Amino acid sequence: MTKNIKLNMSRRIRRTPYTNRVEEHGVSDFTVVNHMLLPKGFKNSVEEDYWHLSKEVQIWDVSCQRQVQISGPDAAALIQKLTPRSIKTMETGKCFYIPMLNENAGMINDPVLLKLDDDMFWVSIADSDILLWAKGYALGLNLDVNIEEPDVYPLAIQGPKSEDLLVSIFGEEIKKIKFFNFRVVDFEGTKQVIARSGYSKQDGFEIYFKVHEKYFDKVEMGEKLWDTIWEAGKKFNISPGCPNLIDRIEGGLMSYGNDFTGENNPLECNLEKYCKDDVSHDFIGKQALSKIKNEGIKQKMMGIIFDGDPCPSIGQPLQVLSKDNKKIGQITSGIFSPRIKKNIGLSMILKEYWNVGESVFIQTLDGGKRNGTITSLPFPD
């Protein structure tokens, strides 16, 4: 129904330094993340983009992964309060995935933390205003920190040829960047952070492109970066892309706001490894999380494989029913996998139905029913 609705453009839905380029490449649709445009498709189908991503290299405008820069004497102490994951042993140059909880242990974001220095961090956020959260909390505690959104516009280079492409531009040093580490490279006289990371299950990098808008035109410099990568990428068969729904679901990569919200705790999201029992530090939601651990969770994120024609996802979750027609979950992200040759989806599932191989029904939006099976995540190869 809501498939061909236009997005009304306004200044509030912020453009990025790459939006002109993305438009020139024929972007077909956008979504909005952190008050900023995120491309969601180009000329090819999601399936064509999926195959291309798995074999070649793509350039993605992920500027909407806004950075919350936390610096100053109390920076590390504040960050430690904002997540159950310990950052005690975190070294400069590392990226940490850090769930963030509210006082009820509900998930309010699942950002990647970059440690730039002992007193300087970037929090690369999903879609909620963590700038306001961190700032409000720091003001209340009267901490000695500075919190701002710097002029950083991440550009992702994803796919198996991404290393070769970036080596051809930035040199052999790129090869030394391990997964979830970053290095600082030079681009046109500016220092740029490049991390080995990205929202796909392929190899890839994220360039945390930063210019100080006082000295540089961000669009001019951003387009220079885009064009440099695009030109060098031609021999690697580069194409414009964006987070790919098939790749993401197959890889079991969750999306904040889609697959989990503030109503969910990190244990339901399979994030217990970031919430260890022996955590010695204090953090927001600690007491609530401890209570949830003791009582045990009632549902958690599982994979679903189901039959039938390709089942489009248009923003309304499909219900998951047990064989005796009890509602046991809802598919919050779903799509047809051309590799598995079935529909796949992510769903919180009630505890009694966690067995891999459990048979279920999926209720489609037109009221029909399809046969499905519970599986583990990521989806089996």
Binding residues for a copy of itself, rule: CB under 8 A, are: 1-13, 15, 19, 23, 27-32, 35, 40-41, 102-103, 108, 127-130, 132-142, 255-258, 284, 313-317, 332-333
CA neighbours closer than 13 Å in the CB half-sphere of residue 251: 17
Look at strands 58-61 and 239-241 and give their pairing: parallel
The least distance separating a copy of itself from the CB of residue 9, rounded to whole angstroms, comes to 3
152-173 burial, b if ≥16 CB within 10 A, otherwise e? bbbbbbbbebbbebbeebbeee
Query: Can you say whether the dihedral through the CA atoms of 292, 294, 297, 303 is positive or negative?
Result: positive
Q: Strands of 190-195's sheet, edge to edge?
A: 182-187, 190-195, 204-210, 152-158, 58-61, 239-241
The least distance separating a copy of itself from the CB of residue 30, rounded to whole angstroms, comes to 6
The DSSP call for residue 5 is P
Q: Closer to a copy of itself by CB, 12 or 341: give it.
A: 12
Q: Cβ(254)–Cβ(340) under 8 Å?
A: no
The least distance separating a copy of itself from the CB of residue 255, rounded to whole angstroms, comes to 7
The rounded distance, in Å, linking the Cα atoms of 141 and 202 is 41
Q: Closer to a copy of itself by CB, 83 or 192: give it.
A: 83
The least distance separating a copy of itself from the CB of residue 53, rounded to whole angstroms, comes to 17
The least distance separating a copy of itself from the CB of residue 24, rounded to whole angstroms, comes to 9
The least distance separating a copy of itself from the CB of residue 101, rounded to whole angstroms, comes to 11
Q: Closer to a copy of itself by CB, 187 or 283: give it.
A: 283
Which two tokens mark 249? 């679901």
The rounded distance, in Å, linking the Cα atoms of 237 and 55 is 10
Q: Closer to a copy of itself by CB, 77 or 169: give it.
A: 77
For the chain, the farthest-separated pair of C-alpha atoms sits apart, in whole angstroms, at 65
Which two tokens mark 294? 């003791």
The least distance separating a copy of itself from the CB of residue 148, rounded to whole angstroms, comes to 10
Q: Closer to a copy of itself by CB, 239 or 313: give it.
A: 313
Q: Closer to a copy of itself by CB, 108 or 275: give it.
A: 108
Q: Closer to a copy of itself by CB, 233 or 303: give it.
A: 303
